[in-house]
Amino acid sequence: MGRALAAAGHEVRLMSPEYVRPYVKAQKNDERDAEAIAEAATRPTMRFVTLKSEEQLDMQSLHRVRDRLVGERTALMNQIRSLLLERGIVVPQGKARLATALSSLLDEEAKALAPRMLTLMADLRDQWRMLNERILAFDAEFAEAAKADQGARRLMSIPGIGPLNATALSAAIGDAATFARGRDLAAWLGLVPRKVTTGGKPKLVGITKRGSKYLRKMLIQGARAALPVIRASHTRLGAWLRGLLARAHVNTAAVALAGKMARIAWALLRHEQVYSAAPAA
């Protein structure tokens, strides 16, 4: 709808519903909603969202479908573990260990389960393999898309950002000039501390957790994977991370590193550069 209106010559302004809600008067209805939208759009500090292109929307749709498949695979694995646990079979954590346990149980010489349960486990294993194949197909598609996208290639130069994170960020951010600085992008992703002020005394608590939960989750997972490598590196980022780990929990450091990665991503997209780690002083 937004692209159709823009093609007709109209100026399209998209706003988050949470920014319009404070302007709704009394009971909610269509007339008051329209009045609140018109009032919020005239505010000089209002934040607007840029229109997504067809390619960006397609990439975001692919990520949503892959995320759903990953959730289904996790639920299926948990169900297999619970069914085996009811019969006294405890499987250690890990996909490889679960696959090994299923292979040994479905062996012709194994008699640990009833014949009907063996058939059920074989069917669940086939579903698991099908989900793995579909997820791997999406991963291969994201890898090819990242190679073709110049912005995604810049983002992949950041430690902890691979094809999945790069394509998701590139599709969600679009034009980096929308954000005035890197902190605005980190705040848009909900990776900045939330400030609580009481009696004139400000206090920083947990992150705001605003914006896309999927992007925030992917960045934190990438930061957690890259944390050991960055900590051991003789760079400014490594020195900063070592100092943070000396006074904060590793989970706090991983979230802080994810926020730092978001700011670096904005800088690379805004200035069209490739990440280069600066040596420590």
Per residue, the 3-state secondary structure of 32-69, as one string, reads HHHHHHHHHHCCCCCCCECCCCHHHHHHHHHHHHHHHH
* pLDDT at site 110: 59
| Residue closest to 162 by CA, chosen among 151, 153, 150 | 153
* pLDDT at site 44: 87
CB atoms closer than 10 angstroms to residue 264: 20
CA gap 260, 271 in Å, rounded: 17
Which residues does 12 contact at the CB level (< 8 Å), separation at least 6? 2, 5, 6, 51
* pLDDT at site 183: 93
* pLDDT at site 260: 95
Query: Distance between alpha carbon 242 and the CA centroid of its chain, in Å?
Result: 25
* pLDDT at site 204: 84
* pLDDT at site 197: 87
Q: Indicate the pTM of the whole model.
A: 0.87
CA gap 77, 95 in Å, rounded: 8
CA gap 131, 120 in Å, rounded: 17
* pLDDT at site 109: 62
| Residue closest to 125 by CA, chosen among 137, 117, 113 | 117
User: Is the distance from CB of 262 to CB of 181 less than 8 angstroms?
Assistant: no
* pLDDT at site 136: 97
The dihedrals phi and psi of 272, each to the nearest 5 degrees, come to 55, 55
CA gap 11, 3 in Å, rounded: 10
Q: Give 10-residue mean pLDDT values along the chain (281 residues).
A: 82 84 87 90 84 90 97 96 93 92 80 86 96 97 95 95 96 89 93 88 88 94 96 94 95 96 95 88 70
